[in-house]
């Protein structure tokens, strides 16, 4: 009998051990998952599943209480899986909400992007137009600068043609200086500055031209008058009038010959008529034996002519004397006793 009871107890123990008791911790986890699902809004978006999860959980607890552990574990797992499904649905809902929000934001962002693109296209077009306009303007400016510089060159050339280098050397030099500077600026592409300097050069060259023209006309007029004086040999060289008188003096003498006075009077008359004229008086050598004697005689002759002109009312400041010219040519007798007047326009 004892052996029978002992065997029955051992059999009961083995039977209980083979039931593989589920850990109660798993139930706590499952319960916690159901609560998480509920907290995440499971009741709202999956009420049926929530109900099922709770129902299976209750059934699992009931089976556990009845010591049906295997069945309890299966039911608990069903409950837990449903809870996890609800949580996953919750997360999916959040993502779906995100998708909806992002789509809306993308629409807004695309709208802003299209607006900015339109603005950019418009501004690029505007920039292109401005660049074209500037290119045309620069081309025109370059063309204008070229024309101006050509005009300046022509004006300078015209002034030079009227002997501006003698009649108006300072203005001509100034005009040339501005012309060269204009050329440099043109080469550097600074058209505006080039045009400005070309214009300045033109203006100065025009003044030089006018002055040269006036002086040339005056020179011609004076030359014409001087040419009518008896015994006067007149030539115009480099803006000055050179007047030569021969035989004004007796040989080896500084006394003016009587018949030379009308010519000197006529010359004094021209000087009187044009107060701006200045004269340099120079005497050529005579045929005396020594150079010193020749120089001395020449000086005296210049003094004699100067004194006569002064006596005719010509101010001394308009008369200048030059050193005597020594003529060393042995055959030169015509040159002897020659007096030269270098007339300048002042």
Partner 1 sequence: MNKFSRKDITPVAIIFLLLFIGLSLKAKADNKNILSQIERLETKLASIENASPDIPIEELDKSKKWIEDAKNSMAEGSEENTAFKKTNQQIEFLSTLLEESRSKKKADELEQLIQKIRIQTEEITDTNAKVIEEIERLEQQ
* Site of interaction with partner 1 (CB under 8 A): 71, 74-75, 77-78, 81-82, 84-85, 88-89, 91-92, 95-96, 98-99, 102-103, 105-106, 109-110, 112-113, 116-117, 119-120, 123-124, 126-127, 130-131, 134
d(CA 208, CA 201): 10
CB of 95 to partner 1, least distance (A): 4
Please say which residue, 58 or 150, places its beta carbon nearer to partner 1.
58
CB of 85 to partner 1, least distance (A): 4
CB of 86 to partner 1, least distance (A): 9
- The label of the residue with tokens 């004194």 reads 307
Q: Which of 19, 107, 1, 88 lies closest to 49, judged by CA?
A: 88
CB of 342 to partner 1, least distance (A): 57
Please say which residue, 116 or 147, places its beta carbon nearer to partner 1.
116
Please say which residue, 80 or 211, places its beta carbon nearer to partner 1.
80
Report the relative pairing of strands 319-321 and 232-237 from DSSP bridges: unpaired
Q: Which of 117, 94, 209 lies closest to 159, judged by CA?
A: 209
Q: Which of 290, 269, 280 lies closest to 322, judged by CA?
A: 280
Across-strand partners of 237? 240
Please say which residue, 88 or 154, places its beta carbon nearer to partner 1.
88
Please say which residue, 75 or 256, places its beta carbon nearer to partner 1.
75
CB of 106 to partner 1, least distance (A): 5
Q: Compute φ and ψ for 329, nearest 5 degrees.
A: -70, 125
CB of 346 to partner 1, least distance (A): 50
> 132 in helix, strand or coil?
helix
Cα diameter, the chain = 200
Please say which residue, 91 or 224, places its beta carbon nearer to partner 1.
91
> With contact defined as beta carbons under 8 Å apart, do 282 and 325 qualify?
yes
Report the relative pairing of strands 319-321 and 278-283 from DSSP bridges: parallel
């Amino acid at each position: 009998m004892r052996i029978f009871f002992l065997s029955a107890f051992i059999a009961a123990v083995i039977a209980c051990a083979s039931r593989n008791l589920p850990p109660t911790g798993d139930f706590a986890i499952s319960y916690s998952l159901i609560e998480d699902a509920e907290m995440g809004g499971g009741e709202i978006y999956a009420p049926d599943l929530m109900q099922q999860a709770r129902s299976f959980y209750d059934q699992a607890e009931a089976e556990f209480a009845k010591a049906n552990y295997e069945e309890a574990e299966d039911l608990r797992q069903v409950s837990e899986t449903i809870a996890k499904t609800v949580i996953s649905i919750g997360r999916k809902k959040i993502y779906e909400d995100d998708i909806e929000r992002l789509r809306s934001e993308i629409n807004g962002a695309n709208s802003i992007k299209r607006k900015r693109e339109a603005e950019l296209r418009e501004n690029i077009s505007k920039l292109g137009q401005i660049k074209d306009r500037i290119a045309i303007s620069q081309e025109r400016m370059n063309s204008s600068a070229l024309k101006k510089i050509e005009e300046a060159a022509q004006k300078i050339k015209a002034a030079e043609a009227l002997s501006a280098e003698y009649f108006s050397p300072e203005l001509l030099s100034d005009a040339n200086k501005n012309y060269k500077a204009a050329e440099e600026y043109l080469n550097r592409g600074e058209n505006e500055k080039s045009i400005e300097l070309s214009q300045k050069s033109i203006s100065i060259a025009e003044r030089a031209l006018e002055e040269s023209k006036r002086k040339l006309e005056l020179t011609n007029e004076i030359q014409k008058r001087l040419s009518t004086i008896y015994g006067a040999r007149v030539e115009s060289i480099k803006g000055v009038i050179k007047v030569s008188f021969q035989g004004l003096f007796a040989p080896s003498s500084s006394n003016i010959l009587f018949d030379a006075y009308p010519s000197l009077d006529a010359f004094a008359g021209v000087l009187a008529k044009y107060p701006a004229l200045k004269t340099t008086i120079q005497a050529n050598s005579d045929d005396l034996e020594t150079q010193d004697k020749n120089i001395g005689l020449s000086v005296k002759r210049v003094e004699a002519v100067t004194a006569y002109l002064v006596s005719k009312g010509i101010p001394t400041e308009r008369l200048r004397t030059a050193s005597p010219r020594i003529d060393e040519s042995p055959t030169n007798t015509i040159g002897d006793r020659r007096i030269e007047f270098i007339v300048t326009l002042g």
